[in-house]
Structure 1
Amino acid sequence: MAPGALTVDDTPMDAASDHESREEPISKASCEMCRRRKVKCDRMRPACGWCSRNSRVCVYKEKRKIIEESERNDQFEVRLGHLDALVQGLRQRVDSHISQHDAHHDTSPSLMSKSPSTHHDRHHSWHATASPESTRSDMLSEGARPPKVILDRPFNPTGGVKIPRSFTTNMKTVYEQEIILSMDPDLPPSDLLYVLVDLFFKHINTWFPLLDRKATFGTYFGSTSISRGDRVVLFAIIATTLRFATDARLTPGAKQKLHNDCKQKIELYALENVNLFSLKALTLLTLDVFGTSKELQGQTFLSLLVQYITHLGLYEGRRRLCWMVYVLDRYATLATPYKFILAEEDMKRFLPCRYDLWSNDIPVETRWPNGLDTTKLRLTVNTPENLGSFSYHCEVLGILSRVHNFLAKPLDIYSPQDVRSWQSTFVALEGELSTWLRDLPAEYGQISILCHSDPGARIINWIMLHAAFVISSIRLNSAAAYPVVQTDVFVPSYSAIQTCLSAVKSLRSIVQDVIETTGLSLLGPHFAFSLWTSARLLLVHAATMRCEIDSNVDFFVDTLAEMGRYWETAAKYSAILGRVTEEGRQGDKTLTEMRQRAHELSVLSDSTRLNALQPTSTRISSANELDYLEIFDFFNYPRSADHGSTAPVSEAPRFDMPVPLGTSGNFPRLGFLENMEMVRLAGNGGSDDTHQFMSRQPAWQPGAQLPWEEADDISRHKTAVYFTTRAYGGHVYIQAPLAAVKVVESEDETARGHQIRANLTIQGVFTNLGHVDRPFIYQVSKLAAGRSFQTYLVTARQPKQPSSNPCGPFPESDSKLPLGPICFSCHVTFKRPVPSFADLQLSSAQERFASILAQRKPDEWPTSPQLDIDILNDTFPNAGHGGFPIVDMYKVDMKAYNTNKPIPERRELLLYKLHKPIPAEDTNSHILVHAFEADRNGLLTISNYLGWGYNLGVAASLTYTFTVHVNSEEAVMRDGWWIQEVCWPRISAGRATLESRIWSPEGKHVASGYQDGIAGPDKKRRAEKL
């Protein structure tokens, strides 16, 4: 084979993807959806008319590859040769029985070098427990080699059918080779050996593509002699595949003895020989050992493999084998806090390519793995068309390696600077995963459909790839979602929680498809590890949230138990999960207490004595405590520095909690995803097109976090009581559209990450005050829908009584409380991005106010007041952000500019940016952040210009419209400061109109907000300005 071809590999069934790059005529068959519905399909590409109208995924099933006639004949010849060899063995047994008293037999001395009695005794052990049927099927292995005259005159049962000479030659060589294998005292009979090799390629090589099927069968059942190295690889195939064998001759005792014999021969050969044969055999044996829960022994073999790879320098010649060891090392080390044996810097080699390219000996170029610095290597090769599922599997494991190394570094969770650095690295790794996922081929998104239409080896590889992504996503996000220790600086991330739960949900759906197609036996211990990780994540979630255990845990336990029939490690996972789940539901300890105990054991085991005077721990852990450690230790991250042994474990994530009037201090501030946490409620509100959601976190209270204990004027306190007992209107204004966003995304999942419908306009009406001590209940209804444009109606109500947990998170039981009237409603429109045929706007705020903005850096201006009223600004100057969530806001001093100008010509400028990052692909969330910020202090500020700053009587928004003028990606908040320009064009009849313009850091007019509200002084109270 060519040097380049031996270095690459993917999966055995990926050969079909070679046809995807060819131009083929449009299929005349109907799409899969229309075929299932049994209706006529117009067969339009890329989507038929019915699928387009109903926003369904349109899939045309490709035609199967047409096998060339010569290739088909070769396959038939090999199969017939094998069958004819069995017939010849039967005939020879009959002839031997008839002529058993003859003195002379024409037998090859080379084939009879073994003692006849030894040969017979060996096979007698195989047949001692066999059924008559299995005994008859093994006659080939019991008889001696037939006379040469029989080999030269092949058996022809049809008589009149002429058999080609090539078939005669092939039959003869196959038969001779099987006689050689059958006489090997260390190998099973030839027919059983053939079955075992076939099972290897069916159950293992599909997701662990180490060998080529055609070459392997040619080596062991062809005309060439078997070398000692090939023989050792065959032992490894047998040891790994015995778990799938169902032959009656292979009793449990026989399986164990054969497995032990093969394992010993591989170990001896690998210790004495450092070559490719020993590497292949040891790689398969390591996989087998990890599948039987012998982690320490597997680590020993893995260390030996890495040393062999280092000495052999497998950089190009056998690249695929090196990647196999890399995969084993990653999965083996993930379950431990230790470093990888095969360092990431030692993997400076190209990714493997598709299996069909490697199998056909086609040298191609792929690319370097993502994340590898190739600038010093001066290589920019990138040919994704040559990549397959195994290539992407290796690539995502590279990201997972960086996640593992990142989490292993201790973090001082009490240091704001260290936490910010940690969060920055976290966001970068999350971006790597998102980019990798976005660059996957389109067929990755059709796993569920392909699982039913093409349940072969090809889809198995994509399932294994999805499992690897789920592990990576959970490994990264669980540290931010469920930190074992929490502080005011390091708090749980709601976004990470949702990401973890979504990953588990997606895997659960895939597993269901696998079970329905009876493909569970085709998956290996790596897949079992993904189930184990997902089930433990659900237990950690229940322990952290103090909620009931998700029923999906039972589903994963049963699935692992089924896989345990073949892989002992899966049975071990199932047993541990079953015990902990049962104890969590019925035992004396809660899951929260179990996690607490697991953390204490982890700290104790990691602690070391500083000197000999310190006492050693002699406590013996119980079996239950070891189970706790198995479940929860995987999630004991981030590892705390300096405070790891003293900081308490948080019983439940405490997000931002509203502070009662009269308190002050440093307040934790939430990001968008934490503050806007919602839960979808069961039921549909009485209609199939209606969806219900409930908020989980209290809304921010404007001014409640000012230092009121320092105020000595009762008038100021009365002002606070009026304006700080209500919820910030921006909370419900953007959370209601967010509920509509979740509905749109759930109905349009196939477009996620590509051109998801963007939120363009929100038209809201406020009808009642909102309270901070109870959740909002949202009801989403679809008003109009098309392919590119949709409109939804969202209404918000609150329970008539406070929540049982008024400080939040609100329990789902609050949704059962009697609801009050509608306090807010809005129309939300969505539209896909379109090209801009014209782009016109006013001069940007950066141009018109350049001299003012140049006076200071953005964050050197005063923070935006919590309540921008003169009476409070004078009482609490520079009070800071308080607990205002989502964005950092600073107010530009515009007094000089506004002097002597009419109020409609005055301007206010607010500079803002995200407090915590939001994924760039989540464009709708970025749009909603702009709307959230634009509602801050608008109608209150006008009271200062009108002279009502000390006796403001009323100020409230009635309607608020927010319109986005650009495609959604242009509203994404990256680096730089955004500007909100505010003016009041009309004030009359107790009403005030506020206009906001949102300017990007580059000076583009991105969005506008229009508020109509009531504003007026308090005629009964005329406080004087001090």
Structure 2
Amino acid sequence: MSASPQDRTGADDDDVHLPPNKRARILSKACENCRVRKSRCDSSRPHCDPCQKKGITCVYKEKGQPGIRPGYGKAMEGRLSTLETNMTKMSESMQEILALVKDSAITANVSVGPGDTGMSSYRPTNESQSIMNAPLWPTNPCQDMSGLSQDPITEPMNPPLGKMRSDTLEGVLPPRAIMEELVQLFFEMIHPWCPLFHRPTFMAQMTLPERQILLHAIVVVTFRFWDKELSQAETRESYVKTSRDFLLLKTVGTCTLVSTQALALAALDALGEGTGPKTWNILSMLVCNARHLSLARRNDSTYASTNTQLVRNEDFDDEMDITNIEAEERTRLFWVIYSLDRLSSISHGQSGGIDTKSIRVAYPVGNEHWGQVSTPEWFQPVPPVSPTHRGCSNRLWHYQIDLLALVDRSNQLLIQPMSFSIPAHCQEWQNSFRRIDTMLTNWLQNLPQEDREEPGFFSPMWITLHTTFHLIRIRLYTVAAFPSTTSPYLRPSVAARGRCRQVISEITSLVKNLKTSDLDRLGPMFAFVVWVASRSLIILWTTGYEAAKELLPPDLEILLNILRQLSMRWPCAQKYTEIIQLVLERKDSSGGATILDIFNDTRRTSYGLQNRLKPASAPSLTDFSPHSFDFLDVPGLDMDLTAPWDGPNLSTALGGDWL
């Protein structure tokens, strides 16, 4: 758009002195005063009419041109090119420095003589040590590790050549030799009752970068078993905390088979710490990962032809293009998640997160058939009356999976809301109770003789199987004997007290001969079973069922001693021990009756008990919330004892005891 002659009038004198190639200046059509006042300007020169009437100076400024000034883009391009060149040179310099440091470290390790089986004589300088051991992510726990250089365990160790890769184990993980010992401890202590991995494949692939998260998970769950007196407790705690934080941080942002395996071990560690929000959150993540990875189903020709999803998640761990070993790892990972979900739901007083009816997975194959083509044995949501797992080396795990279905049914019975003021509801609850009790009896009678009797050697899976069976029974009988709420239509059962005491005796005889080395090979859920038996025995004892009320029952001494030994490995056992010790010490004091009332209230879990007993306990007990239900609980009862009822009393109709 060209400027009008009137716009260019005021600039004619200036344009005479401009160079011939310079563009003429274009003045604004409105003067500055009119522009500021937003009034109409007639563009008269040298003074517009509004300014002339008001007697103010009229000024026309040069009109700005759109876009960047000429040459600016070319200058910016040159500056960016210079910056990229400098960054490339800096990167090349860093690579040369790292290569020199790694070459010097390898030379020092190889120069160790064959007779030197201890620690390497190479001591890196401060600069090289800081580069080689730099953390793989920003973390606070390992920032202050100045005392590690004087600690023998942190010295560079000489691993077997070709067995470990140094670039994988450097950084926040323990030294290579310690990491090797932790892996061996994992397969000795944890893997027998939590068989997640194919050991030869795991050992061959453990140093791959994408599987480093599994090493962090092993540090979290296994460092508790490393008994060598070569490091301070703070060093171990720092390694464990750093690996735990790294594991949780990585599993939040990824959902793969490997990350879910690591998360399963993190959930196991959380159960070992005790019930609480952290445990609930990790287990929720684990169940969601199993759903996203479709671990609850296994692709086979029969199932795929009759059931097809119109929409499905495009996960890259699809079983259609994986090996038999990876497919079996998926299967075992699901059953480990299923076990953690079912057993943790008992301690939390909540329903499980996995729907049994949606499971389309085979049972785990025997270790000798891992990776081979074999006919799968498919899981049945309703366990058969007679177990059919004969001839399989993993049959104890198969029985455990079947038993977990009964764990879920009994738990649903105990946590379902009901009204004690309606006789029909009470009658239905009693009938369901008897059906589950009968199913448990039949399950044990149909168990093969070699699996029903204790083997001649220690078997963690056999102990886990039978303690789970006793856990279901003791929960049912304790609820029937000491319900948190009673009514004329559902009274406490005297027969249930006798059966509860019998189950406690069976658990005591099962665990009293276990050695310390045997207890180390059992998990935190075993500690929970011992806690359940101990608390039920104290309730029976303090309510007058035991013959000698003044003397401590011998079975309680045995169970309490087992908890003390388990507390050396699993903090949850220490919490159980502290609660029991507090009750035993204060039961005869001035406030002992109140403490017993709180402890004997079967509505409360250990999570709630620690909160309620905290004012009277030692300061070591941590804060807990009281809002949770117990393994002995019948929650959410809507009771109205004033409702009219003309029918017969249910307890009288059943001969005085409904059970």
* Match among 182, 194, 199 for residue 180 of structure 2: 194
Rounded to whole Å, the distance in 1 between the matches of 2:238 and 2:253 is 23
Deviation of the 1:277 alpha carbon: 0.7
Rounded to whole Å, the distance in 1 between the matches of 2:649 and 2:338 is 42
Rounded to whole Å, the distance in 2 between the matches of 1:621 and 1:591 is 10
Residue 666 to residue 585, structure 1, CA distance change in 2 (3 Å): farther
Rounded to whole Å, the distance in 2 between the matches of 1:628 and 1:303 is 19
2:301 alignment partner in structure 1: none
How many equivalent residue pairs?
A: 492
* Match among 101, 125, 128 for residue 150 of structure 2: 128
Rounded to whole Å, the distance in 1 between the matches of 2:186 and 2:355 is 30
* Match among 632, 635, 645 for residue 635 of structure 1: 632
- Please say if 1:368 is aligned against 2:379: yes
1:938 alignment partner in structure 2: none
2:615 alignment partner in structure 1: 623
Residue 94 to residue 335, structure 1, CA distance change in 2 (3 Å): closer
Residue 435 to residue 232, structure 1, CA distance change in 2 (3 Å): same
- Kept in 1, the 8 Å contact 2:493–2:658? The answer is no
Q: Deviation per CA, 1:453-510: give whole Å up to 9, x if none.
A: 423xxx1110111111111111222222222233332122333223222221111111
Q: Deviation per CA, 1:404-454: give whole Å up to 9, x if none.
A: 11111223333332222111111111122122222323223332xx3xx42
Deviation of the 1:597 alpha carbon: 8.4
Deviation of the 1:584 alpha carbon: 2.2
Q: Please identify which structure carries the higher strand content.
A: 1
Residue identity in the other structure for 1:398: A
Deviation of the 1:252 alpha carbon: 0.9
- Please say if 1:296 is aligned against 2:307: no
Rounded to whole Å, the distance in 1 between the matches of 2:340 and 2:293 is 18
Residue 544 to residue 413, structure 1, CA distance change in 2 (3 Å): farther
Rounded to whole Å, the distance in 2 between the matches of 1:434 and 1:87 is 63
Q: Deviation per CA, 1:9-54: give whole Å up to 9, x if none.
A: xxxxxxxxxxxxxxxxxxxxxxxxxxxxxxxxxxxxxxxxxxxxxx
- Please say if 1:140 is aligned against 2:121: no
2:578 alignment partner in structure 1: 575
Residue 407 to residue 563, structure 1, CA distance change in 2 (3 Å): same
- Please say if 1:561 is aligned against 2:564: yes
Residue identity in the other structure for 1:208: C
Residue identity in the other structure for 1:443: E
- Kept in 1, the 8 Å contact 2:217–2:266? The answer is yes
- Please say if 1:437 is aligned against 2:444: yes
Residue identity in the other structure for 1:567: W
Q: Deviation per CA, 1:734-793: give whole Å up to 9, x if none.
A: xxxxxxxxxxxxxxxxxxxxxxxxxxxxxxxxxxxxxxxxxxxxxxxxxxxxxxxxxxxx
Residue identity in the other structure for 1:241: T
2:166 alignment partner in structure 1: 180
> Where in structure 2 are there 5+ consecutive unaligned residues?
1-107, 136-144, 299-326, 618-622
Rounded to whole Å, the distance in 1 between the matches of 2:592 and 2:628 is 15
Rounded to whole Å, the distance in 1 between the matches of 2:204 and 2:366 is 22
Rounded to whole Å, the distance in 2 between the matches of 1:422 and 1:400 is 17
* Match among 393, 399, 412 for residue 392 of structure 1: 399
Deviation of the 1:90 alpha carbon: 3.8
Rounded to whole Å, the distance in 2 between the matches of 1:323 and 1:621 is 36
Q: Deviation per CA, 1:699-718: give whole Å up to 9, x if none.
A: xxxxxxxxxxxxxxxxxxxx
Residue identity in the other structure for 1:185: G
1:277 alignment partner in structure 2: 258
Residue identity in the other structure for 2:524: P
Residue 179 to residue 218, structure 1, CA distance change in 2 (3 Å): closer
Residue identity in the other structure for 2:352: F
Q: Deviation per CA, 1:826-852: give whole Å up to 9, x if none.
A: xxxxxxxxxxxxxxxxxxxxxxxxxxx
- Kept in 1, the 8 Å contact 2:604–2:633? The answer is no
Rounded to whole Å, the distance in 1 between the matches of 2:120 and 2:452 is 64
3-state SS of paired residue (2:162)? helix
Deviation of the 1:624 alpha carbon: 4.3
Residue 622 to residue 454, structure 1, CA distance change in 2 (3 Å): closer
Q: Deviation per CA, 1:964-988: give whole Å up to 9, x if none.
A: xxxxxxxxxxxxxxxxxxxxxxxxx
TM-score, length basis structure 2: 0.66
3-state SS of paired residue (2:506)? helix
3-state SS of paired residue (1:454)? coil
- Please say if 1:205 is aligned against 2:218: no
3-state SS of paired residue (1:476)? helix
Residue 596 to residue 290, structure 1, CA distance change in 2 (3 Å): closer
* Match among 235, 257, 277 for residue 254 of structure 1: 235
3-state SS of paired residue (1:118)? helix
3-state SS of paired residue (2:592)? coil
- Kept in 2, the 8 Å contact 1:203–1:521? The answer is yes
- Kept in 1, the 8 Å contact 2:120–2:158? The answer is no
Residue 371 to residue 98, structure 1, CA distance change in 2 (3 Å): closer
3-state SS of paired residue (2:221)? helix
Residue 430 to residue 258, structure 1, CA distance change in 2 (3 Å): same
- Please say if 1:334 is aligned against 2:352: no
- Please say if 1:508 is aligned against 2:547: no
1:478 alignment partner in structure 2: 478
1:216 alignment partner in structure 2: 202
- Kept in 1, the 8 Å contact 2:421–2:639? The answer is no
Q: Please identify which structure carries the higher helix content.
A: 2
Residue pairs, 1:74-113, within 5 angstroms:
90-91=112-113
Mean Cα displacement is larger for which, 183-192 or 631-640?
631-640
Which of 1 and 2 has higher RCO (CA within 8 Å, sep 6+)? 2
Q: Deviation per CA, 1:371-422: give whole Å up to 9, x if none.
A: 2699xxxxx9955433522221222121111111111122333333222211
- Kept in 2, the 8 Å contact 1:531–1:560? The answer is yes
2:56 alignment partner in structure 1: none
3-state SS of paired residue (1:265)? helix
* Match among 407, 410, 413 for residue 406 of structure 1: 413
3-state SS of paired residue (1:207)? coil
Rounded to whole Å, the distance in 2 between the matches of 1:534 and 1:246 is 30
2:539 alignment partner in structure 1: 540
Residue identity in the other structure for 2:539: V
Residue pairs, 1:697-846, within 5 angstroms:
none
Residue 444 to residue 188, structure 1, CA distance change in 2 (3 Å): same
Deviation of the 1:599 alpha carbon: 7.1
Residue identity in the other structure for 1:580: V
- Kept in 2, the 8 Å contact 1:410–1:638? The answer is yes
RMSD of equivalent CA atoms: 4.2
- Kept in 2, the 8 Å contact 1:369–1:398? The answer is no
Residue 325 to residue 140, structure 1, CA distance change in 2 (3 Å): same
1:377 alignment partner in structure 2: none
TM-score, length basis structure 1: 0.43
Residue 294 to residue 595, structure 1, CA distance change in 2 (3 Å): closer
Residue 577 to residue 393, structure 1, CA distance change in 2 (3 Å): same
- Kept in 2, the 8 Å contact 1:368–1:382? The answer is no
3-state SS of paired residue (1:176)? coil
Deviation of the 1:265 alpha carbon: 2.1
- Kept in 2, the 8 Å contact 1:557–1:574? The answer is yes
- Kept in 2, the 8 Å contact 1:119–1:183? The answer is no
- Kept in 2, the 8 Å contact 1:233–1:277? The answer is yes
Deviation of the 1:237 alpha carbon: 0.9
Report percent identity of matched pairs. 22
Residue 587 to residue 633, structure 1, CA distance change in 2 (3 Å): farther
Residue identity in the other structure for 2:363: L
Q: Deviation per CA, 1:653-698: give whole Å up to 9, x if none.
A: xxxxxxxxxxxx998676xxxxxxxxxxxxxxxxxxxxxxxxxxxx
2:368 alignment partner in structure 1: 356
- Kept in 2, the 8 Å contact 1:576–1:627? The answer is no
Residue 348 to residue 562, structure 1, CA distance change in 2 (3 Å): same
3-state SS of paired residue (1:504)? helix
Residue identity in the other structure for 1:532: W
- Please say if 1:426 is aligned against 2:453: no
